[in-house]
Structure 1
Amino acid sequence: MTGNRPDLTHIDHWVFDLDDTLYPSDAPVMAQVSARMTEYVARLLDLPQDEARLLQKSYWRDYGTTLHGLMANHPLDIREYLDYVHDIDHSVIPANPLLIRKLEALPGKRLVYTNGSLKHAENVLVHLGIDHLFDDIFDVEAAGFTPKPHREGFDRFASRFDLPVPRSVLFEDSVRNLKTAHEMGFTTVLIRAKEGLRTEDHSAPGEHPDHVHFAADCLTTFLGEMRTSTTAETSDD
């Protein structure tokens, strides 16, 4: 009996966004990153903090990430920027032993696809205790500094791993990133932001955009409820 369990029995490539997806959106991680982005923009362009914040958000909306907007409009040291904005306290990421068990049970390959840096991704995975569970990490540098939701970055990701897209799922907190994935043929799972933390790129609690196959308020809960090829074999015995 599977009931209304999400059916992912066709999936053998499990792709996870990093921030606000593998850990809850109420963990104070991206707030730190965003504040350091503002500081960097203010210093780079000699702007007051409030103007730097507005420009930062404008670049995010128009280019996909603040970095992509800066690259298009200003000379900067890309790696210096990435090191600066990700120099945060990762210890605020909560431990989640149940997530470890759910990821361990996934049949097939597990990948992280992030708009952040490799070093930041490694730090997040280590603090979650899941760094040993992933086959690889694809960061913004691997994408040629072309971030999600741009198709070029997705194509580089798929090519790097010879990804069988029809057998791949992307877990994401970003509605617009999932739109590109859906257009490519991924199965898409939206991890909604916590109440009060929604931005223009997130769905409100209970919302389910048309290009999203499944939506959930908690990644760990969803992983426990979905049906995979492994759980199907067990239930059919």
Structure 2
Amino acid sequence: MTQPSLILFDFDDTLCVTERYMSAAFFEVLRDYLKPYQPDLTVQQLVVKNTELYRKHGSSLHGWMHELRKEMDFTLDMFAKFAPVLKGAVMPHTQPNPGLLRRLGELQEMGHELAILTLGHRDYCLPILDKIGITTFIPHEKVFDISVMEGRLKRDADTYHHLLKHHLKGKYRHKYMFEDSMANLMAAHKAGFGTFLIGPKRPPEELDSSIEHQAATINQALDILMNEVLPA
């Protein structure tokens, strides 16, 4: 191989199934945090509003910052409050994925660069990555948290340009992004990444043209990468 490729992963529900376990804990902490600002908000209203802010901003916590007219320190403090609670909710349910670890090892042996781009939960996901063995192949210094990158969001193409300019500075033959969010992949594609959508298969009419591959699991997606995309 003359030149390595960059293989960038999302964490939640891409490398590891997490969101089904964190939902209840997330809204419990969020309601407590927002009580000084939204004291009469019911849980149902909170869920609806949080979803609305996520769709508008690409991150509900960034959305609350704008909604309450706060600064970035407010959002970073929220992320810090969430980290131990989410870790406690998710950690007991996580186990190593032997197929994933084997594929990561093979990609590493081939000389490719592996990294993770997560939104605001770096301190929460690092202990989980340790537990399930992924940091053997993607060390902590290759886990990038864009919540501290000047308030950037994954659905902005400039975030990926920023990552490549300031953090992942290698000369890459190709760049690939694995994500469970189509909106985030659309931004990554604008920044020159090949795209892999992880999750239940969607019909073609629901897919943006920037989505090049889709697979139900990360293992299946890596099979496509290694057997079909990289050899091409």
Per the alignment, residue 199 of structure 2 pairs with: 192
> Sequence identity, in percent?
22
Determine if the alignment matches structure 1 residue 39 to structure 2 residue 13: no
Matches within 5 A, 1:17-36: 17-24=10-17, 28-32=20-24, 34-36=26-28
Distance 2:178 2:64 in 1: 27
1:170 and 1:30 map into 2 onto residues whose CA distance is: 24
CA RMSD of aligned residues (A): 2.9
Equivalent in the alignment of 2:67 = 73
Q: State the Cα distance separating 1:143 from its structure 2 match.
A: 2.2
Displacement of 1:145 in angstroms is 2.1
Corresponding residue of 1:125: 129
Is contact 1:192–1:215 with CA below 8 Å preserved after alignment? yes
Output the amino acid matched with 1:204: R
Mapped pair 1:85 → 2:86: no
The gaps in structure 1 that reach 5 residues or longer are: 1-8, 194-202, 233-237
Preserved CA contact (<8 Å) 2:198 2:221: no
Query: Structure 2 vs 1, CA of residues 49 and 11 (structure 1 numbering), >3 Å: closer, same or farther?
Result: same
Aligned residue in 1 for 2:9: 16
Which residues in structure 2 correspond to 1:132-171 (within 5 Å)? 132-135=136-139, 136-160=142-166, 161-162=168-169, 164=171, 167-171=174-178
Q: Which residue of 2 aligns with 1:199?
A: none
In 2: Cα distance, 1:148 partner to 1:115 partner: 7
The separation in 2 between residues aligned to 1:119 and 1:131, in whole angstroms, is: 14
CA pair 69-164 structure 1, distance change in 2 beyond 3 A? farther
Question: Do residues 210 (structure 1) and 209 (structure 2) align?
Answer: yes
Q: CA deviation at 1:139?
A: 0.4
Question: Which structure has the highest helix share of the two?
Answer: 2
Aligned length: 214
- Match of residue 223 from structure 1: 222
- Of the structure 1 ranges 133-142 and 110-119, higher mean CA displacement relative to structure 2 is found in 133-142
Supply the distance in 2 between the matched residues of 1:36 and 1:133 (Cα, whole angstroms).
34
5+ long unaligned stretches in structure 2: none
Alignment CA distance shift 1:81-1:222 (3 Å): same
TM-score normalised to the size of structure 2? 0.79
Alignment partner of 2:146: what SS? coil
Alpha carbons of structure 1 residues 226 and 78: separation in structure 2 relative to 1, 3 Å: closer
Moved over 6 A (4+): none
1:118-166 alpha-carbon deviations (Å, 9 max, x no partner): 2022023123211121150110234222211023322221212125576
Instruction: Give me the TM-score of the superposition, normalised by structure 1.
Output: 0.77
Q: Which is further off, 153-162 or 109-118?
A: 153-162
Answer whether contact 1:38 1:56 (CA < 8 A) is retained: no
Structure 1 residues 174, 148: CA separation in 2 closer, same or farther (over 3 Å shift)? same
